[in-house]
């Protein structure tokens, strides 16, 4: 068996590719060798894989060997078919002949003899002729034609012609086609042979004659042949089957065999070197040693995977193989040299890392596989790092290893080496032991920044010293020295030996491995793992006072721990970052670290340590800094709103918001400023102006209650937003609701998990108060009256409100009297309150305003204000039954009160309203003549219409007649009947009858009579209630009990127009008829009047006239005013005409003729003009018609 293995090993080393035999019959090889070898390797070939499927093979390696070559002659006999993969796969026969007879008699028989034992061959006929026209060329063609006839068959052509001096391109295609056919056929037969032999051995698997070595030789021969043919996938499957078979064989063996790994150099990994040892060195009777053979099989698999350009699979398989083989080494640890397992794993990981890096190119695999590839590389770096630390700890470098959580978990929670016998201390190493003892005793734990003292994490399992106590030496220094000497003797890798030679070299290697792990984790998108290794790198930088790089790495670690909520780990790293920042004078960063340290769980640090954090924070915040530093203190200062219902305000109202703050600072702290924003619930993006606290706020540890002034806000519901403030140069912000606080106080209010509730509700703009006049009916004109102003609060307090009163034109306030205030009769809210006075209150008007009493802040109250409406004109009466425009309009008695009510907390609410107040005269006077005597006497009836909602009592009435009239009867101007007092109820009328007569007048007196009126004088009293309308004027009210029976009388005067009857007309005016066809809009029409003198009353020969009309209905086309010539003789006539254009259709009032210089009493209209005329609409215009 040993000689077969040796022979197989040598054959594998010597075979570089497929062999093609060349039989040179005519000594042509020197002539064609160069051209033939230029075709190698074959660029593209098609072979059948094990499943008989054609596979395209690129760059098929092959070699041309003459049949006379020693490498073919010296091979084993044909009956030893184990190594048939080395035999030629095709035979190329080179011939040349220029004579047909020579071919028949000599060449043909010789070829028959040569090819009688060959299976895959073909003949290359070499033409030496230099020109096709030569006779030699013609003879060669005849010979080649005969050659084809003799050696070709219907199934296969075995001849091709090569022109030595020509350039026939098709020859090489034909040549490669024929040679590929030969190789494919031979390859298929040999694969079938190996499969048959392997199947036979598998059938004998359970028989005593079966040996794994024979099976291995056949299986690997097949795999090696497939590998030579570039069928790497098929070859890889063969090695996989071989590995499974071997593991099954090892598992089912009855007796334990030698494991291996005890020779010098076995500690160094050979998983990528299949020629590390000869197979004859590891053979055990019928099998192989497990230690070397498993590495050999993996090396063969890795070689094929690299050829397939699959470094990811090499790394993946290698990581799994290292893990499984490490377990096997652990089971054999007692039989192996000291720490062989650790050294082998370390070197295996590093060799895989380097080999895969050499073969990998970015982008050659899918992104997800690429990330997995980098993850596996990171795991290999991490595993190498752990093994390196373990070896370093065993030789006494443990005190220099940073006791981080990662290192502690990696070293203390995994099994440590357990050799059968712990290495002993060399006899000449006593000085080394003493030095090691001094080093151990000099190691003191480093005190962290802020004086933090914490128990260091463990790097070693508790069972390590107990296991070492069975060794002769019991001191730890002796263990370290013994381990160092043992490793120095056992480790064969020079790089590893160098890394463990000194502390500096160890830290250099440790840093390289940590960086490699971090970088590959980042490439794999395993950011958390990469950041953790950044922390390990930072610890090395920190140790060597490279604070800038240490701080950069520590910031990544702290951000990761903080984001994931790993407060225990953050408490271990954050003080180191703070120390780096302090040394680098990074004040903003140092402030941030102090805040983050204070934000951690209280149980992680002692009270003194937390006080030190706060002291550093306050001191640095008040130091000289270029710019303020903004920081988030959400975990230190939390807040919540009031536990009760939200504060309710109206639009525009300020208020006070009570906020509860919970401080996690260990000591009291002073806040220079404090502000809070509110967030609208209906629109989270809209934020109101920040609410600021006035002055410095001292925040105590724990519970604090703060009142903030609330400016007017927009309508809506608001939640607590962000709390901001300033401590020196530190601008802090908090956006967290309180979670801490006493267990038995406000536990529900300070819960962080509860949804936020509104703390403020600002109602939409609405009527907060109503102002209106208490009485809508008319008050007396020119008399002091009470005007009632009703103020009704609409669910809003008017406490401290101020009412400003201003009067409009024609109205004044009687400032001599106080304003009276009483509860409104219709009030229905808080009407039973004891604070409301039962009597009327009086308040003086100050600078046009009064302040509402407190009792009137929540009820409807009425303010009686003394005013007087002033009207300088004399009221004029009208003729009864005649429609006249001279009756005064209601608008003439309209007056206004301008009110402004300032109310709210700071008088921010302002309501302005103008209240109309109607004033009127007590009576409207109208007259009519009821009867006329033959002697010229008249009975004049004066009708008095009450215009107020009060009872009027008339005590006396008399007339002051105008010129041209005189009193009849007693002559005192009194009525004919004296039924006084006369009571006139509200909205009723009463009549008084006077007797008058016509006086004598001359023409000179006519002008005077036009400008005088008859005055009626009425002495009356009024009995009314100010709650309903007109009432007794304020100034006439008797004051004191002695004046209770005194009746106050008022006097009302009104002008009357009395017109003398037309008894002697001087002028007759006749309206001449209009055209019979009617009036139409837009068409001219002429209005005509005829004037005739009835008497000679005027000596002037001309008469002044004027035509008036509504300009909206008529447009004049002539003179409207002028002098018409009229003779002063009796019977003189004249006609006045004017042209007009009607502007509006319908019944309209026509133009009227007026004679300004003639009294209407002397004009007789016969016939009189019409009151209305009909005007037709304009006819349709053809220009606006659309044809059908």
Taken in order 687, 689, 694, 696, the sign of the CA dihedral is positive
Across the range 804-829, mean pLDDT stands at 84
User: Residue 1060 — very low, low, confident or very high, per pLDDT cuts 50/70/90?
Assistant: low
First to last CA, the chain: 124
pLDDT digits (tens, 9 = 90+) for 554-580: 899 889 888 888 888 888 889 989 989
C-alpha–C-alpha distance, residues 125 and 235, integer Å: 37
For residue 223, pLDDT beyond 80: yes
Mean pLDDT of 962-985: 81
- Assign 390 a pLDDT band (cuts: 50, 70, 90): confident
pLDDT of residue 78: 46
* Residue 605 reports pLDDT greater than 90: no
Average pLDDT over residues 407-427: 76
Q: What percent of the chain has pLDDT over 90?
A: 20
Residue 356's pLDDT is: 92
Buried b (16+ CB within 10 A) or exposed e, 1013-1046: bbbbebbbbbebebeebbbbbbeeeeeeeeeeee
pLDDT at 393 over 60: yes
pLDDT at position 741: 40
Confidence band of 1056 (pLDDT split at 50, 70, 90): confident
pLDDT for residue 884: 45
Q: Look up tokens 């914490």; give the residue.
A: 454
Q: Which CA distances in Å does 366 have to 310, 376, 530, 886?
A: 12, 15, 22, 105
pLDDT of residue 931: 67
Long-range contacts of 514-519 (CB under 8 A, 24+ apart): 514/381, 514/385, 514/540, 516/353, 516/377, 516/378, 516/381, 517/378, 517/381, 517/382, 517/385, 518/378, 519/378
Angle between helices 232-252 and 212-228 (to 10 degrees): 170
Mean pLDDT of 216-221: 87
pLDDT interval class at 887 (50, 70, 90): low
Across the range 330-358, mean pLDDT stands at 91
* Predicted local distance difference test score (pLDDT) of residue 483: 83
Q: What are the contacts of 328-331 at 24+ separation with CB within 8 A?
A: 328/290, 328/294, 329/261, 330/415
Q: Which residue has the tokens 């837009």?
A: 1082
pLDDT band at 890 (very low <50, low <70, confident <90, very high): low
Let me know the angle formed at the C-alpha of 287 by 283 and 293, rounded to the nearest 5 degrees. 65
Minimum mean pLDDT among 283-287, 473-477, 973-977: which range? 473-477
The neighbour count for residue 744, using CB atoms within 10 Å, is 6
At residue 1039 the predicted structure's pLDDT band, cuts being 50, 70 and 90, is low
Beta strands, E only, 256-305: 283-284, 287-288
Q: Which of 373-382, 762-771, 967-976 has the weakest average pLDDT? A: 967-976
- For the residues 682-694, what does the mean pLDDT come to? 71
pLDDT in tens, 32-43: 898 888 888 899
More confident residue, 201 or 465: 201
pLDDT in the model for residue 355 = 93
Residue 499 has pLDDT above 80, yes or no: yes
The residues near 6 (Cβ < 8 Å, ≥ 6 apart) are 278, 279, 280
Which of the residue ranges 79-93, 344-358, 568-582 would you say has the lowest mean pLDDT?
A: 79-93
pLDDT for residue 473: 36
Torsion over CA: 1026, 1029, 1034, 1035 (sign): negative
Reading the block at residue 701, the tokens are 């540890």
Could you give the CA distance from residue 877 to residue 925 in angstroms, rounded to a whole number? 5
User: For 510-551, how does the pLDDT look when each residue is reduced to its tens digit (9 = 90+)?
Assistant: 999 999 999 999 999 999 898 889 989 998 998 888 999 999
- Considering only residues 526 and 739, tell me which one the structure prediction assigns the higher pLDDT: 526
1082-1096 mean pLDDT: 87
* Of 109 and 467, the one with more pLDDT: 109
pLDDT of residue 972: 79
| Model pTM score | 0.65
Average of per-residue pLDDT across 166-193: 87
- Calculate Rg over the CA atoms of the chain: 64
pLDDT of res. 933? 66
Q: For all residues of the chain together, what is the average pLDDT?
A: 83
pLDDT band at 830, cuts 50/70/90?
A: very low
Average pLDDT over residues 340-346: 92
- The pLDDT value given to residue 81: 62
**Tokens found for residue 153:** 């068959």
Q: What is the DSSP string of 798-834?
A: -TT-EEEEEE-TTEEE-TTSPEEEEE-TT--SSTT-T
Task: With cut-offs at 50, 70 and 90, classify the pLDDT of residue 1061.
Answer: low
pLDDT of residue 881: 56
Q: Distance (Å, rounded) from C-alpha 724 to C-alpha 740?
A: 19
Cα distance between residue 162 and residue 164, in whole Å: 6
Q: Is the pLDDT of residue 1136 over 60?
A: yes
Mean pLDDT of 394-411: 81
Predicted pLDDT of residue 344? 93
Provide the greatest CA pair distance for the chain.
194
pLDDT of residue 246: 87
- CA-closest candidate to residue 49, choices 317, 178, 238: 238
pLDDT over 60 at 52, yes or no: yes
Predicted confidence at residue 471, as pLDDT, reads 39
Question: Does 453 have pLDDT greater than 70?
Answer: no
pLDDT in tens, 298-333: 999 999 999 999 999 999 999 999 999 999 988 888
């Amino acid at each position: 068996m040993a000689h077969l293995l040796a022979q197989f090993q040598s054959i594998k080393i010597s075979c570089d590719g497929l062999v093609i035999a060349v039989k040179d019959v005519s000594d042509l090889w020197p002539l064609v060798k160069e051209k033939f070898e230029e075709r190698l390797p074959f660029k593209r070939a098609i072979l059948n894989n094990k499943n008989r499927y054609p596979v395209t093979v690129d760059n098929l390696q092959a070699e041309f060997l003459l049949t006379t070559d020693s490498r073919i002659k010296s091979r084993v006999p044909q009956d030893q078919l184990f190594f048939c993969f080395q035999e030629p796969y095709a035979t190329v026969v080179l011939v040349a002949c220029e004579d047909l007879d020579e071919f028949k008699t000599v060449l043909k028989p010789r070829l028959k003899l040569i090819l009688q034992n060959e299976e895959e061959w073909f003949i290359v006929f070499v033409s030496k002729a230099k020109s096709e026209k030569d006779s030699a060329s013609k003879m060669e063609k005849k010979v080649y034609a005969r050659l084809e006839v003799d050696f070709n068959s219907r199934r296969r052509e075995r001849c091709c012609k090569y022109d030595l001096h020509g350039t026939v391109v098709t020859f090489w295609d034909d040549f490669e086609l024929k040679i590929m056919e030969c190789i494919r056929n031979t390859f298929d037969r040999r694969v079938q042979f190996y499969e048959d032999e392997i199947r036979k051995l598998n059938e004998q698997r359970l028989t005593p004659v079966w040996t794994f070595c024979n099976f291995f030789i056949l299986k690997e021969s097949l795999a090696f042949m497939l590998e030579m043919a570039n069928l790497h996938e098929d070859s890889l499957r063969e090695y996989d089957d071989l590995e499974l078979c071997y593991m099954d064989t090892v598992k089912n063996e009855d007796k334990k065999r030698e494991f291996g790994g005890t020779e010098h150099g076995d500690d160094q990994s050979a998983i990528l070197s299949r020629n590390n040892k000869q197979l004859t060195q590891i053979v055990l009777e019928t099998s192989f040693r497990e230690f070397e053979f498993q590495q050999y099989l993996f090396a063969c698999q890795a070689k094929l995977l690299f050829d397939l350009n699959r470094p990811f699979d090499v790394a993946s398989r290698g990581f799994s193989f290292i893990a499984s083989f490490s377990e096997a080494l652990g089971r054999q640890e007692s039989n192996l040299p000291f720490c062989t397992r650790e050294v082998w794993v370390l070197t295996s990981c590093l060799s895989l890392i380097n080999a895969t890096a050499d073969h990998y190119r970015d982008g050659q695999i899918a992104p997800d596989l690429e990330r997995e590839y980098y993850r596996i590389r990171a795991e290999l770096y991490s595993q190498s790092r752990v093994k390196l630390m373990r070896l370093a700890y065993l030789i006494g470098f443990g005190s220099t290893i940073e006791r981080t959580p990662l290192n502690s978990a990696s070293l203390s929670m995994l099994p440590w080496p357990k050799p059968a016998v712990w290495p002993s201390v060399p006899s000449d190493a006593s000085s080394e032991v003493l030095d090691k003892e001094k080093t151990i005793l000099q190691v003191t734990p480093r005190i962290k920044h802020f004086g933090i003292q914490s128990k260091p994490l463990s790097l070693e399992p508790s069972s390590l010293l107990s296991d070492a106590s069975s060794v002769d030496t019991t001191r730890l220094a002796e263990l370290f020295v013994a381990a160092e000497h043992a490793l120095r003797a056992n480790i064969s890798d020079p790089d590893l030996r160098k890394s463990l030679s000194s502390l500096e070299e160890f830290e250099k290697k440790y840093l390289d491995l940590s960086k490699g792990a971090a970088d590959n984790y980042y490439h794999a998108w395993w950011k958390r793992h990469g950041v953790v290794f950044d922390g390990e790198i930072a610890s090395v930088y920190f140790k060597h006072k490279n604070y800038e790089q240490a701080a950069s790495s520590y910031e990544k670690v702290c951000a990761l721990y903080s984001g994931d909520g790993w407060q225990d780990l953050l408490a271990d790293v954050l003080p180191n970052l703070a120390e780096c920042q302090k040394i680098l004078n990074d004040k903003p960063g140092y402030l941030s670290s102090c805040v983050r340290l204070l934000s951690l769980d209280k149980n992680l640090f002692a009270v003194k340590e937390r006080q030190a954090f706060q002291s550093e924070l306050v001191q640095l915040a008040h130091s000289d800094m270029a710019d303020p530093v903004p920081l988030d203190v959400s975990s230190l200062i939390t807040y919540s709103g009031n536990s009760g219902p939200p504060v309710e305000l109206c639009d525009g109202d300020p208020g006070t918001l009570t906020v509860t703050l919970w401080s996690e600072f260990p000591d009291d702290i002073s806040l220079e400023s404090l502000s809070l924003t509110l967030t609208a619930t209906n629109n989270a993006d809209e934020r109101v102006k920040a609410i600021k606290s006035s002055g410095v706020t001292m925040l105590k540890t724990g519970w604090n209650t703060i009142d903030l002034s609330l400016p007017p806000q927009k309508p809506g519901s608001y939640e607590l937003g962000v709390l901001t403030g300033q401590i020196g140069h530190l601008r802090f912000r908090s956006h967290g609701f309180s979670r801490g606080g006493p267990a038995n106080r406000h536990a529900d209010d300070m819960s962080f998990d509860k949804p936020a509730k509104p703390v403020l509700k600002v109602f939409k703009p609405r009527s907060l108060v109503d102002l209106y006049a208490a009485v809508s009916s008319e008050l007396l004109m020119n008399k002091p009256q009470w005007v009632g102003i009703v103020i009704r609060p609409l669910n809003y307090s008017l406490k401290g409100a101020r009412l400003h009163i201003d009067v409009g034109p024609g109205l004044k306030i009687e400032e001599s009297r106080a304003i009276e205030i009483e509860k409104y009769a219709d009030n229905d809210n808080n009407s039973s309150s004891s604070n409301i006075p039962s009597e009327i209150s009086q308040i003086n008007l100050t600078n046009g305003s009064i302040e509402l009493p407190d009792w009137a802040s929540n009820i409807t109250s009425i303010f009686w204000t003394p005013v007087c409406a002033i009207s300088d004109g004399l009221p004029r009466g009208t003729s009864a039954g005649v429609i006249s425009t001279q009756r005064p309009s209601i608008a003439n008695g309209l007056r206004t009160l301008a009110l402004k009510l300032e109310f709210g907390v700071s008088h921010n609410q302002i309501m302005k309203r103008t209240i109309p107040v109607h004033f009127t005269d007590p009576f409207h006077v109208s007259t009519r003549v009821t009867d006329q005597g033959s002697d010229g006497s008249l009975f004049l009836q004066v009708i008095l219409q009450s215009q107020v909602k009060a009872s009027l009592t008339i005590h006396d009435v008399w007339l002051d007649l105008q010129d041209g009239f005189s009193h009849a009867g007693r002559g005192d101007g009194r009525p004919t009947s004296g039924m006084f007092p006369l009571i006139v109820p509200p909205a009723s009328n009463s009549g008084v009858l006077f007797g008058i007569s016509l006086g004598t007048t001359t023409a000179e007196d006519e002008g005077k009579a036009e400008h005088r009126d008859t005055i009626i004088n009425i002495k009356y009293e009024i009995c009314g209630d100010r709650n309903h309308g007109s009432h007794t004027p304020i100034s006439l009210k008797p004051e004191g009990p002695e004046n209770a029976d005194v009746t106050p009388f008022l006097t009302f005067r009104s002008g009357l127009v009395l017109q003398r009857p037309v008894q002697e007309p001087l002028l007759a005016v006749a309206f001449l008829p209009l055209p019979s066809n009617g009036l139409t809009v837009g068409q001219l029409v002429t209005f005509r009047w005829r004037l005739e003198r009835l008497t000679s009353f005027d000596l002037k020969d001309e008469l002044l006239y004027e035509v008036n009309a509504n300009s909206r209905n008529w447009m004049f086309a002539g003179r409207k005013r002028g002098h018409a010539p009229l003779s002063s003789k009796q019977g003189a006539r004249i006609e006045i005409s004017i042209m007009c254009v009607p502007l509006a259709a319908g019944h309209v009032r026509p133009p009227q003729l007026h004679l300004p210089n003639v009294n209407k009493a002397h004009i007789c209209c016969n016939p009189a003009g019409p009151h209305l005329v009909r005007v037709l609409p304009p006819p349709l215009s053809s220009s606006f018609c659309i044809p059908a």
